[in-house]
Structure 1
C-alpha cells in the first residue's frame, strides 16, 4: 500500500510550482497552554491535505497546483478560500490516492467514492474582517453551493478544562485534534498567534536527507531516516515504521510528518516517531 501511495504521489504535485500561495497562508502555532479559550472559536483539526483556493485554482501548501475535476469545483467562488481536502477521520492516505487519480495524464475520474472527498473551508483570507465575521460570511455565502464544499463548524468553549474534555472526545472518536481561531484576529499570512493547534502530542515536518542501515533483525533494511527540519536541525527517526516502510522507505527529498515529545537541550525532537509521508519531491 505504501509503495503504491509513494508511486502515486510522485505524480501528485508535478505542475506549476508557485511560492506565492505559500506566502499567503496563515500558519498555526502549537502552544495553547495558558491561552484564554473564551477568546477563540474552536473547530476539529482535520487530517487531510491543505488547499488554498485563489478563486480559480487549488494550491497545495508546498505551492503546487492540485488538479480537481470540473464538477468538484463547480460554483466555487472567485475569491480566496483556505481549507482542507478531506475524506473523513483517518483517511489521509485515501485523500492522497484520490488526488493522484485526478491528474491530467490519468484523465478526470469520478469523484463518487464510498467516502467522498470534500473541500472543508476554515477561512476566507481576502476578507479584511475579524475571524468570527469571516466565519459568518462563509456560512452565508458558501453553504449549499456544491456538495463537495463545506464550511467547518466553529464553536465556543469557556475554559482550558472544557478544551481538554473536547479534545478527549475528538481523539476517542478517531479525530486528530482541535484548532483554536482567535475570534478578533484578521487573516495574517505567516502569523502563528491567531491560529493554534491543540493535539495530545506535538508533530512537525522534516525532509528526508539520508538513511541509517538496519542492524540485527533489520539487516538489509532501513534502520532509521536522517531528516532535516526547516530550521536546519538534523536528526534520525528510527521508530514508527512498518516492515514494508523499512523495505521501501520514503525517498530522499520527501517531506514526512513525525511526532515528538518536546525538545532536547540541543533543540532536537525528543522521542521522534515517524507518522507518514506528507509529500514527495
Structure 2
C-alpha cells in the first residue's frame, strides 16, 4: 500500500516538500496553507516553487541530451576482493537506461524515447529521475521493438523502473527514498527498483545465487 494512500486511510494528509525548499518557515507556511488552509494561516510569502531553482532549470535547459545523462551514476567493476559490507544491492534489469528530465525519457546516448503522453503523464514534471525501461525477463527484443514506436497500446507493456533521483543533494539512500516518494501513486507502469544493504560476502553470494 502506497504511503499517501496509507496516510489518507487514517486521516493524515501527506505533503511532499521538494528538496529545493530554501528552508524558510514563511515559504513552508504559504505552501502548507494551500493544502490545509484550516490549519496553517495565510502568508504573504511566496510558496515553494513547483520546479527546481532557476539556475538548475537553466542548466538543464542549456545542455544537450548527452550532457544531461552525464550526471547519472556509472557502474564500476568489482574485483571480488573489496569488502562489500554496507554497499547497496539491487537487481540489474535487462532493459534500456532512461533519464527522465521532467518532460522526456532520454537514453544514455542522448536519444529521446518516443514514449506516448499516456505513459509519460504519470511521471512528475518537477523531479529528475534515473531508471530502466523494461518489459520482462528475456524480452529485450520486444522492448527494442516497442521503444521505436509512439504507440499507446504497445507502451502499456513497458515499465519505467526508477532507482535514483540524480539531482537530489542527499546520499544514495536519501535519493532513492526521495525517488520513491516522487513516483508514489504514479500507476502500474512506474515502479521503484528495491535496494538492500549488503551484510557481507556471504550475503552478497546468497543474493547473487
TM-score band by shorter chain is 0.5 to 0.7
Size of the aligned set, in residue pairs, is 145
* Structure 1 position 98, deviation (Å): 0.7
The equivalent position to 1:155 in structure 2, one of 165, 183, 196, is 196
Unaligned runs of 5+ in 1: 1-16, 103-107, 169-281
Unaligned runs of 5+ in 2: 1-63
Match of 1:51 in 2: 98
CA distance in 2, matches of 1:46, 1:61: 15
* Structure 1 position 112, deviation (Å): 6.0
Does the C-alpha gap of structure 1 residues 36 and 22 become closer, same or farther in structure 2, counting only changes over 3 Å? Answer: same
CA contact (8 A) 2:85 2:201 kept: no
Match of 2:143 in 1: 95
CA distance in 2, matches of 1:18, 1:50: 13
**2:154 is equivalent to residue 111 of structure 1:** yes
CA contact (8 A) 1:120 1:149 kept: yes
Match of 1:136 in 2: 177
SS in 1 for 2:131: strand
SS in 2 for 1:66: coil
| Most deviating of 33-42 and 78-87 | 33-42
* Structure 1 position 90, deviation (Å): 1.4
Instruction: Spell out the pairing of 1:132-281 with structure 2 (5 A cutoff).
Output: 132-168=173-209
**2:135 is equivalent to residue 77 of structure 1:** no
Deviations 1:122-163 (A, max 9, x none): 100110001111112222231221221101011123111221
Q: TM-score, normalised by structure 1?
A: 0.49
* Structure 1 position 65, deviation (Å): 0.9
SS in 2 for 1:95: helix
User: By percentage of residues, which structure has more helix?
Assistant: 2
CA distance in 1, matches of 2:113, 2:98: 8
SS in 2 for 1:65: coil
